[in-house]
């Protein structure tokens, strides 16, 4: 019977009994801690250190008995300015036999890597865990023992009587706006982030409709005959609908005036407000609802029609109010998601409305815009979502226009592949800003699209190597997905996790010590992709001490590091897409 890594609990137990000296030297070998597909490229990075300086060769051994199955030479030294490191690469791509292995250096200490697998479905558990995190982000919803296990909690924030903040345009009164997903590690709900998150997840469904079928995610709606991923997305769509004003505009966010302390959702008794309206919130809403209109039509025509009608109203409002930025009022301190350029939101909304409605007005709008794919999307710049949809989903753009869009995706993917060949960790160039991990994941998604356009394996293998980075082959030497791998992010900035795991009681000082593996009292909800290295280090003023100043190493696995270790729905959405798409495609490749 084939064994799969799950959340690698067995590997964690094995690791915890290793001597501390061995654990320390393990960190000199940076490797995907879950593993690899048989046909993917397999590269580890050996950092030059006192312990590894005498190594020239490596071998791959079976974890069960230490038997060598592959030997190779380390590459010439490569220096990466972003991390200040010099290292060598260990390439064992030729090894394709399924199993559980370790990489061992030929140095005096015989330094070993963390264990890893070669398997034809190695990312399946990561993809499922990533998607399950949205269930754990549900607002106004009890997480039951049956479905949430040790992470069960009471429902928080019913949001059935939310006050209007003056910035909403309403002078008084209350409204009902229950449900939706908590945006990140706090308890706010934000329209801009919901837009790109829902858009990314719906895009995954449109490309891989059979990957998360009914009963695959173990959520309350499992068994209702609709794919579980669509049930989970609908939970947030239903909240988004409550945020549309009578005039078609869309409120910007629903939060308290300031961030709450480290408490469980049901203990937050702060007054909740609907705050602001903006061009960006209206257009994010319009794009997501247009996508939902075509996706849900096969399951509920009335629901789908309502989504499309709402998308049109939001578009019309945005055209009449085409330059209304959001800025926090003086008494509001929660997330601002500040944006003053709305060209990208207009392009994305027009693209999704055109695909769904086929109406000439949206085609005419797009004909006046540059819709080539040039960079990965983010909440600040959703432009890249438009060409991805137009390249993959059937639409009535002229063939020449569609061919040009597809060529731009491939051209950008080629640029990133060329950059990967130059770098120690084999990743594209990146400015390490807030949420850098999501930027890597979104670059990987573009490579998946390039593979689908060309059927050239090099793009799919490039996407796999970006996943390698997220799962341990990085300058922090850690899997950036909670609960996935051996040494993973264990102390995320996430109030539910902090309180339930007792992390807050441990204190910042203990967490600042280098932890080589999570301890029994500090196990997290698996599947959250933390933000990752952030050169800005904006949380230094809040008891967070960074051991490094270099961009690629500006990461601390401590719960107060909201700048590098928070979680967010718009970071997990591309993680779901990346891991799920790779698993679907690499699994098919293995069968050929």
Residues marked active site are found at 186, 493, 557, 566
Tokens of 499: 């309180």
Spatial distance between the Cα atoms of 282 and 288, rounded to a whole number of angstroms = 10
Select from 332, 336, 352 the least CA-distant residue to 344: 352
How many residues make up the chain in this entry? 592
Q: Which helix (H) or strand (E) holds 273?
A: strand 273-277
DSSP class per residue in 146-191: HHHGGG-B------SSEEEPGGGT--S-EE-----B--BSSS-EEH
User: Is 454 within 8 Å of 587 (Cβ atoms)?
Assistant: no
Quickly count: other Cβ atoms within 10 Å of residue 75's Cβ: 15
CA 482 centroid distance within chain: 12
Quickly count: other Cβ atoms within 10 Å of residue 15's Cβ: 20
Give the three-state DSSP class for 266.
helix
Ordered alpha helix ranges (H), 421-547? 436-454, 457-470, 495-500, 503-506, 508-512
User: Is 245 within 8 Å of 251 (Cβ atoms)?
Assistant: yes
Would you call 111 exposed, middle or buried from its count of C-beta atoms within 10 A (0-12, 13-18, 19+)? Answer: buried
Select from 206, 175, 576 the least CA-distant residue to 395: 206
């Amino acid at each position: 019977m084939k064994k799969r890594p799950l959340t690698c609990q067995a590997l964690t137990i094995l690791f915890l009994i290793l001597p501390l000296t061995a654990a320390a030297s393990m960190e000199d070998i940076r490797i995907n801690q879950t593993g690899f597909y048989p046909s993917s490229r397999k590269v580890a990075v050996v950092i030059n250190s006192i312990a590894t300086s005498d190594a020239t060769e490596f071998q791959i051994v079976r974890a069960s008995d230490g038997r060598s199955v592959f030997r190779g030479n380390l590459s010439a030294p490569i220096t990466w300015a972003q991390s200040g490191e010099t290292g060598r690469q260990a390439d064992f791509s030729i090894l394709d036999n399924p199993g559980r292995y370790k990489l061992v250096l030929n140095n005096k200490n015989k330094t070993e890597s963390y264990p890893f697998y070669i398997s034809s479905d190695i990312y399946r558990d990561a993809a499922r865990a990533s998607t399950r995190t949205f269930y754990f982000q549900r607002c106004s919803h009890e997480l039951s023992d049956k479905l949430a296990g040790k992470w069960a909690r009471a429902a928080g924030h019913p949001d059935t009587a939310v006050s209007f903040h003056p910035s909403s345009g309403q002078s008084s009164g209350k409204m009902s706006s229950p449900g939706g997903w908590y945006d990140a590690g706090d308890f706010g709900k934000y329209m801009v982030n919901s837009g790109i998150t829902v858009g990314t997840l719906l895009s995954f469904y449109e490309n891989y409709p059979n990957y998360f079928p009914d009963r695959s995610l173990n959520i309350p709606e499992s068994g209702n005959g609709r794919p579980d991923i669509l049930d989970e997305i609908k939970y947030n769509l239903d909240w988004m609908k409550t945020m549309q004003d009578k005039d078609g505009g869309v409120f910007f966010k629903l939060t308290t005036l300031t961030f709450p302390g480290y408490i469980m959702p049901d203990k937050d008794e702060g007054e909740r407000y609907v705050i602001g309206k903006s061009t960006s919130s209206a257009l994010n809403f319009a794009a997501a609802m247009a996508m939902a209109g075509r996706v849900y039509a096969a399951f509920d025509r009335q629901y789908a029609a309502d989504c499309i009608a709402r998308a049109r109203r939001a578009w019309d409002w945005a055209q009449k109010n085409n330059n209304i930025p959001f800025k926090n009022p003086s008494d509001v301190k929660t997330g601002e998601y500040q944006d003053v350029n709305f060209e990208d939101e207009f392009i994305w909304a027009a693209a999704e409305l055109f695909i769904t409605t086929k109406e000439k007005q949206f085609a005419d709008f797009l004909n006046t815009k540059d819709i080539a794919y040039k960079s990965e999307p983010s909440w600040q710049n959703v432009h890249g979502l438009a060409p991805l949809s137009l390249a993959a989903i059937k639409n009535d753009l002229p063939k020449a226009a569609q061919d040009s869009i597809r060529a731009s995706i491939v051209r950008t993917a080629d640029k990133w592949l060329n950059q990967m060949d130059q770098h120690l960790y084999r990743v594209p160039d990146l400015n390490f800003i807030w949420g850098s991990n999501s930027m890597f994941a979104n670059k990987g998604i573009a490579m998946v699209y390039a593979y689908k356009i060309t059927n050239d394996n090099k793009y799919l293998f490039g996407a796999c190597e970006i996943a390698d980075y997220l799962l341990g082959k990085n300058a922090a030497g850690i899997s950036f997905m909670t609960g996935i791998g051996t040494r993973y992010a264990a102390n995320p900035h996430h109030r539910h996790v902090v309180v339930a795991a007792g992390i807050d009681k441990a204190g910042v000082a203990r967490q600042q010590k280098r932890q080589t593996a999570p301890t029994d009292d500090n196990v997290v909800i698996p599947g959250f992709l933390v933000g990752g290295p952030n050169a800005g280090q904006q949380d230094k003023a809040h008891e967070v001490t960074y051991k490094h100043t270099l961009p690629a190493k500006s990461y601390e696995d401590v719960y107060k590091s909201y700048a590098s270790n928070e979680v967010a729905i718009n970071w997990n959405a591309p993680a779901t897409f990346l891991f799920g798409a790779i698993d679907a495609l690499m699994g098919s490749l293995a069968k050929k």
